Amino acid sequence: MKSVTYVLVTQILVMLSGNVFAAMQPNILFVLTDDQGWWDVGMRGNQDIETPVMDRLAREGVDFTRFYAAPVCAPTRAGLMTGRYCFRTGLYNTRFGGDTLGINEMTIAQMLKRAGYRTGIFGKWHLGKYAPYQPQHRGFDEFLGHYHGHIDEYDYPDQLVHNGKPVEARKYVTDLFTDAAIEFIEHDSEQPWFCYLPLNAPHSPWVVGTSHDGQARGDALIEKYLKKGLVLREARIYSMIDIIDQNLGRLLTRLNELGETENTVVLFMTDNGGVSRHFKAGLNGNKASVYEGGVRVPLFVRWPGRFPAGAKIDAQCSHVDLFPTFCELAGVDVPNDREIDGRSLLPLLKTGQGEQHHEYVYHAWDRYFPNPDNRWSISDQRWKLLCQVGAGQQGSRKNWRLFDLANDPGETHNVFAQQPETAERLRNEFVRWFEDVTDGVAYEPVPIPVGHPAEPLVEIQPSWATWHGENIEYVFRGYDWDTIEGWKTPGEHADWKLDVLHGGRYAVEISYARLSRDRGTLRLSVGEASLECSPPPTPTADVFERVSVGTLDIQPGSAELKAEVVDAQGDELLRLNRIFLRRLADASTGKAGSNE
């Protein structure tokens, strides 16, 4: 009888414990870094990097030793926001408009707002540039950051937006985003909060301290790591991670000062494999590969008194697991109208142990279109089958590699020939998964919304275009500095798909560069409306000016924007950087549209 009573009491306590976790609705601070490797923390045996705060967070929390992200950043972010592998969401790229999260997806910010949370994001979004794909339209109350995969300026960053509006900023960007996060968590409110801090460091360009007021710190950090024997590239990356660690310390200190430490779940993770090469903890591969070094990332989770300090979880887990984990913490059910690939990590976090979570974890990465043959992998708790070929190469069975991760985590010994049945089992499961997550999904840039009330000025970027002609080409030098060049022959053109939400008269501007020896005419058209322009030369072909070229009366609905060579003399008509459309009035009524 005593044993039966004990069992019943234990079961009741377990059930009550789960309810208490949900009822408490802890704050959630989620720090995500960009391109920091599994090995880029001191506690992985890296004796040269200095990350005392990250190391302490691992000691005070739970360390997931086999936690996986996607090989590159936007796919990981789609999975984090939705709990679904990115291919289900329509996202398939990091550029060219393929880095847009499907409009019908439900984000974790939307779920947490349902549960009564304040929500803020400070840093890199990379899931949609245009309204209504921007974070302030996807469940976040507050957004300061950038839409792109990376920015060019880390000191005095000039590609930032605040809730959809461009802003100018000073300070090193990691410090700046951390300041904004601290301001958010200091807000006097009875609500629990979700603070998402997706820092863009240590993504390239690998720079620290390039401004007048920041160079001294940057030089000192780089010199510190050069003295440790690192080459300059690696010293820059380590310096950026060093600054991240300092800012993580500022966050944790402020939580403690506010008395919020005991009521806040803190998570630290990186978005894909690392780019550094100085020390790799024995792992193979880097970012963009499906080897362990390209997809295994650190995840440390701390909730004092509720998650066991110093625990290590060896079960393989995935980035898609955070969505259901956050939902369970907040006491809100995951959506039941779609497939959720993730599984809550709370059972593992509460006990601090677990040898099994996902039976399989999957990876695939091919920039231009989802591909099941070229760069892919699948792992169970012991075995991993993969194919990794270079760009432009076609993967085949001869490229398959099978590794025993339990005994060979560095993926050095291919045992494909010795374990053909294991390889076949894993390949068949990967193909089943790939067909499932891509079923019925179209992979192409979403039509650019034009005339959205929150975005009267729409910036049309070259990367979203398709281009046609013998000479015309797309050139990437960085977000906002990509161009379409080589306009030489009449008829050569570039096209953009539009979704015109409100018809009307639109002012048209272009950002371009043009040498004085080049002559010609460019036609811009949307549907039946068109205009022609021949903008004046700029000082050089790398100096861009923005000029007004006229207006277009655009009808609502699906449309195509075309830029086309009418005539050209010289080397090229121009280098087109961007097209801007600003709604002025309705074509039918002449009523002015909002510019707010």
Residue positions annotated with a catalytic role = 73, 126
Cα angle 176-181-186, degrees, rounded to a multiple of 5: 125
Q: Residue type at 277? A: R
Residue 82 CB coordination number (10 Å): 28
3 state SS for 31-90: EEECCCCCCCCHHHCCCCCCCHHHHHHHHHCEEECCEECCCCHHHHHHHHHHCCCHHHHC
Cα angle 406-31-69, degrees, rounded to a multiple of 5: 35
Q: Residue type at 153? A: E
Distance CA 577, CA 63 (A): 45
Closest to 194 measured CA to CA, from 134, 271, 117: 117
Cα distances from 156 to residues 162, 211, 213, 251, 307, in angstroms, run 15, 7, 10, 21, 39
Question: 498 in helix, strand or coil?
Answer: strand
Distance CA 511, CA 292 (A): 42
Question: 595 in helix, strand or coil?
Answer: coil
Determine contact, residues 300/225, Cβ cutoff 8 Å.
no
Closest to 250 measured CA to CA, from 325, 308, 342, 181: 181
Determine contact, residues 275/285, Cβ cutoff 8 Å.
no
Angle between helix axes 2-24 and 322-330 (nearest 10 degrees) is 100
CA dihedral 150, 153, 154, 160 (to 10 degrees): -70
Cα distances from 82 to residues 96, 108, 111, 120, 323, in angstroms, run 21, 6, 10, 16, 6
Q: Which residues contact 408 (CB under 8 A, 6 or more apart)?
A: none
Regarding beta strands 457-460 and 466-468, do their DSSP bridges make them parallel or antiparallel, or are they unpaired?
Answer: unpaired
Cα angle 147-363-83, degrees, rounded to a multiple of 5: 60
Closest to 325 measured CA to CA, from 85, 63, 69, 83: 83
Closest to 289 measured CA to CA, from 553, 507, 72: 72
The secondary structure of 367-389 as a DSSP string is: TTS--SSSEEEEE-SSEEEEEE-
